[in-house]
């Protein structure tokens, strides 16, 4: 039997409030914004004038909200949690907050406490009674065991005993006027209000209440009281913090009229591309400037190889990045899945650059690969979408993708902006090393500037794609084919399709079909063939003929103006022509829409596909 650890390894959302409002409604509204972090169970603990009260239940946040609507908890201090199971199956008992024997302490936790079994054994021998299968519950019992009358110093003592990754928030019945929170390898943000303070796993949960926020540093402890927030290091020494003002529109983190976050995020891509390019092209538009990389030409010349390390969609962007960097800068690049990379012993010279890509900046495997590389003394460049994320904080150099908050589990605009960041990097390296000439650089830069408008044009084909997706959604399989860079996009198209439609989808380099997969091609099975790589055009057509000869239903996606392709496939979707090099930016939007509409047609929960969560913050 599979154990929970290592299989159900996701993240959770934490919310905390102290002030004059009823905590219940603030906690529910914050948790609602954090549900993308996990949604198998939820709970709140509220301290008021009476005893600490806890309500929790398995299922979506709505189930908890229903319970609380029927029996509201009165109180102005509270912590809440939305869970994705790691230790212990989703159940009422395993839902957070967790309490100890006397129910005087409540704890919510995101992460994993690695030594919980030893701690539990010790606590059991001391007479503590456990009610859940979670690792988190040990924290509540440790608080009970060590409580000295001062919650802050007790938390300091408890965190000396626990090992692992955690963000914790704690309330105590005996000190109902405070919340103590601590961050170690799991994100936590505090928000400053007027006579009220907030705590959350992520900024959007706070934006209805405050825009003055502080992202806790590794090992930082925050004590929230109604009148303020005091921060301390692990030794209990006070720290000075400077809150920053969040300028995003709160709407930016909400659906804004679209049926799903995913659809909204697909449509945000032209803007996200524009924002990611902004400030990174020279004024006369003839080159790339990356002010965030203070690298000298000498330093760039020394880079002998680049290892790109990432997971899922970010890994697929990395594959395109390899093609771009190798072609434009002639630096050899390897691309690896972080969960594999971190456990092998890669051959690194002192001059190998490690490039990690992560939308969230919190993916545990990517972060571990980053840390390994740093431990070897290698320079790490990160491409991430989240300012202040662990990856952004720990890398030597950071390129932010300005996609804005991505809420849907299926990554869309983050991928497109990762591509843009990688193209910018490739041009920047090529230009610094003088591998590419000035004329070619300005052609590339000029073409990049046209991509947002072209993407807008692609999105206008959504109604056609919806119809095709509806027809495909009745099939149990789909095959995505491409050659060269098109194959890398096919991989991302297939991931998107299976992730949200739950239809079996496979991507193949089209030339490889005859080595096995062709056996699966049967009459009418959907095949999506990407055909934008000019040098491989004839080869791609002949691969399409191979599947057509087996009576597959072939949807071709090709350049506008390609009349030839229509003779070989059942249906064509045209995308505006750009340089073959930038084809992924054009191809990915129809593939995202195809997956989206197939998911809708099958009645799936598009934004929260089963068994998945937005970021995988533990192994
Ligand atoms: O936040 P990250 O980019 O590090 O996340 C990596 C993957 O977990 C992520 O891309 C995942 O594959 C997406 N859900 C795919 O849509």
The per-residue pLDDT for 2 is: 25
Distance CA 443, CA 452 (A): 16
Alpha-carbon distances of 238 from 3, 17, 230, 232, 310, rounded to whole Å: 41, 22, 7, 4, 36
The per-residue pLDDT for 250 is: 66
Which residue carries 């794609």 as its tokens? 465
Residue nearest to atom 9 of ligand 1 (CA): 312
Residue 520 burial (CB count, 10 A): 15
Which residue carries 């080595």 as its tokens? 515
Find, among 5, 3, 609, the residue nearest to 312 by Cα: 609
- The least confident of 46-55, 119-128, 417-426 is 46-55
Q: How far is the CA of 314 from the centre of ligand 1 (A)?
A: 6
Q: Are the C-beta atoms of 483 and 536 separated by less than 8 Å? A: yes
For range 395-410, the mean pLDDT:
91
Tokens coding 612: 């998945």
Q: How far is the CA of 480 from the centre of ligand 1 (A)?
A: 20
For range 491-507, the mean pLDDT:
97
Q: How far is the CA of 71 from the centre of ligand 1 (A)?
A: 38
Find, among 486, 477, 416, 56, the residue nearest to 265 by Cα: 416
Q: How far is the CA of 197 from the centre of ligand 1 (A)?
A: 32
Which residue carries 């001059």 as its tokens? 351
What percent of the chain has a predicted confidence (pLDDT) above 90? Answer: 78
The per-residue pLDDT for 388 is: 73
For range 49-65, the mean pLDDT:
92
Judge whether residue 256 has pLDDT over 70: no
Distance CA 355, CA 369 (A): 10
pLDDT bin (cut points 50, 70, 90) of residue 593 is: very high
347: CB partners within 8 A, 6+ apart: none
Judge whether residue 46 has pLDDT over 50: yes
pLDDT in tens, 279-331: 899 878 789 999 999 899 999 999 999 999 999 999 999 999 999 999 999 99
Whether the full predicted model's pTM is greater than 0.85, yes or no, is no
The per-residue pLDDT for 329 is: 98
Judge whether residue 106 has pLDDT over 60: yes
Distance CA 610, CA 502 (A): 9
Tokens coding 259: 């049926």
Tokens coding 221: 């402890």
What percent of the chain has a predicted confidence (pLDDT) above 70? Answer: 97
Distance CA 394, CA 389 (A): 9
User: Domain 461-601, what fold?
Assistant: Rossmann fold (3.40.50)
Single out the catalytic residue among 12, 33, 264, 311: 12
Strand order in the sheet with 238-239: 98-99, 105-113, 164-172, 175-184, 221-225, 228-232, 238-239
Judge whether residue 7 has pLDDT over 50: no
Q: Are the C-beta atoms of 174 and 149 separated by less than 8 Å? A: yes
Class of domain 13-257: alpha beta
Q: Are the C-beta atoms of 128 and 137 separated by less than 8 Å? A: no
Single out the catalytic residue among 33, 76, 264, 614: 614
The per-residue pLDDT for 10 is: 42
For range 541-555, the mean pLDDT:
91
Q: What DSSP letter does each residue of 469-526 carry, written as one string? A: HHHHTT-SEEEEEESTHHHHHHHHHHHHHHHHH--EEEEEEGGGGGGTGGGG--TT-E
The per-residue pLDDT for 252 is: 62
12 vs 195, residue with greater confidence: 195
Residue 619: burial class (beta carbons within 10 Å; 0-12, 13-18, 19+) = middle
Domain ranges of the chain: 13-257, 262-454, 461-601
Q: Are the C-beta atoms of 13 and 202 separated by less than 8 Å? A: yes
Alpha-carbon distances of 549 from 370, 425, 541, 564, rounded to whole Å: 47, 42, 12, 17
User: Domain 262-454, what fold?
Assistant: Rossmann fold (3.40.50)
Atom of ligand 1 nearest to the CA of 414: 3
The per-residue pLDDT for 323 is: 98
The per-residue pLDDT for 562 is: 94
Q: How far is the CA of 383 from the centre of ligand 1 (A)?
A: 13
The per-residue pLDDT for 129 is: 97
614 is an active site residue = yes
Are 262-454 and 461-601 in the same CATH fold? Answer: yes
Q: How far is the CA of 565 from the centre of ligand 1 (A)?
A: 33
Residue nearest to atom 7 of ligand 1 (CA): 312
For range 184-196, the mean pLDDT:
94
Which residue carries 């928030």 as its tokens? 169
Q: How far is the CA of 435 from the centre of ligand 1 (A)?
A: 33
Atom of ligand 1 nearest to the CA of 310: 4
Q: How would you classify the pairing of strands 189-192 and 13-18?
A: unpaired
Residue 459 burial (CB count, 10 A): 17
Pocket of ligand 1 (CB under 6 A): 311-314, 358-360, 363, 366, 409-411, 495, 499, 615-616
Q: Are the C-beta atoms of 376 and 342 separated by less than 8 Å? A: no
Atom of ligand 1 nearest to the CA of 616: 8
């Amino acid at each position: 039997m599979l154990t929970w650890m290592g299989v159900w390894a996701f993240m959770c959302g934490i919310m905390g409030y102290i002030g004059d409002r009823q905590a219940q409604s603030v906690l529910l509204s914050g948790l609602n914004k954090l549900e993308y972090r996990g949604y198998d169970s939820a709970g709140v603990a509220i301290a008021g004038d009476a005893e600490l009260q806890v309500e929790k239940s398995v299922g979506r946040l709505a189930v908890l909200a229903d319970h609380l609507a029927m029996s509201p908890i009165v109180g102005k201090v509270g912590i809440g949690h939305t869970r994705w199971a790691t230790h212990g199956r989703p159940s009422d008992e395993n839902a957070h907050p967790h309490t100890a024997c006397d129910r005087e302490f409540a704890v919510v936790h995101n992460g994993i406490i690695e030594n919980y079994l030893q701690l539990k054994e010790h606590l059991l021998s001391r007479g503590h009674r456990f009610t859940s299968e979670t690792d988190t519950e040990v924290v509540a019992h440790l608080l009970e065991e060590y409580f000295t009358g001062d919650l802050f110093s007790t938390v300091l003592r408890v965190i000396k005993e626990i090992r692992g990754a955690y963000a914790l928030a704690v309330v105590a019945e005996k000190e109902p006027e405070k919340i103590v929170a601590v961050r170690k390898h799991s994100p936590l943000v505090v928000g400053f209000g007027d006579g009220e303070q907030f705590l959350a796993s992520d900024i959007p949960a706070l934006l209805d209440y405050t825009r003055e926020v502080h992202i806790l540093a590794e090992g930082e402890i925050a004590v929230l009281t109604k009148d303020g927030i005091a921060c301390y290091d692990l030794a209990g020494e006070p720290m000075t913090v400077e809150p920053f003002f969040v300028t995003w529109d709160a709407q930016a983190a909400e659906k804004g009229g679209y049926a799903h976050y995913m659809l909204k995020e697909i449509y945000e891509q032209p803007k996200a591309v524009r924002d990611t390019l902004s400030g990174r092209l020279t004024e006369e538009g003839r080159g790339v400037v990356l002010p965030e990389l203070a690298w000298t030409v000498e330093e760039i010349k020394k880079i002998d190889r680049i290892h790109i390390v990432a997971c899922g969609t970010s890994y697929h962007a990395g594959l395109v990045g390899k093609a771009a960097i190798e072609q434009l800068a002639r630096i050899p690049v390897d691309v690896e899945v972080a969960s594999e990379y971190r456990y092998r012993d890669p051959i690194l010279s002192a001059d190998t650059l490690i490039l990690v890509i992560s939308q969230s900046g919190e993916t545990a495997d990517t972060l571990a690969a980053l840390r390994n590389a740093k431990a070897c003394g290698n320079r790490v460049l990160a491409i991430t979408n989240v300012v202040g994320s662990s990856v952004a904080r720990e890398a030597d150099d950071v390129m932010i993708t300005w996609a804005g908050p991505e809420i849907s589990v299926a990554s869309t605009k983050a991928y497109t902006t990762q591509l843009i960041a990688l193209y910018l990097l490739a041009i920047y390296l090529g230009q610094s090393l003088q591998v590419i000439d000035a004329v070619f650089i300005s052609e590339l830069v000029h073409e990049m500037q046209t991509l947002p408008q072209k993407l807008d044009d692609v999105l206008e084909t959504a109604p056609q794609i919806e119809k095709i997706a509806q027809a495909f959604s009745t099939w149990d399989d789909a095959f995505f084919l491409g050659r060269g860079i098109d194959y890398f996009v096919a991989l991302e198209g297939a991931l998107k399709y299976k992730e949200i439609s739950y239809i079996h989808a496979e991507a193949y380099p089209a030339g490889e079909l005859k080595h096995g997969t062709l056996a699966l091609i049967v009459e009418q099975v959907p095949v999506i063939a990407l055909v934008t790589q000019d040098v491989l055009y004839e080869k791609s057509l002949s691969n399409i003929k191979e599947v057509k000869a087996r009576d597959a239903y072939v949807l071709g996606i090709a350049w506008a103006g390609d009349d030839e392709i229509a003779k070989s496939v059942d249906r064509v979707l045209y995308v505006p022509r750009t340089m073959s090099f930038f084809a992924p930016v054009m191809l990915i939007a129809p593939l995202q829409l195809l997956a989206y509409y197939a998911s809708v047609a099958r009645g799936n929960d598009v934004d929260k596909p089963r068994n998945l969560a937005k970021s995988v913050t533990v192994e």
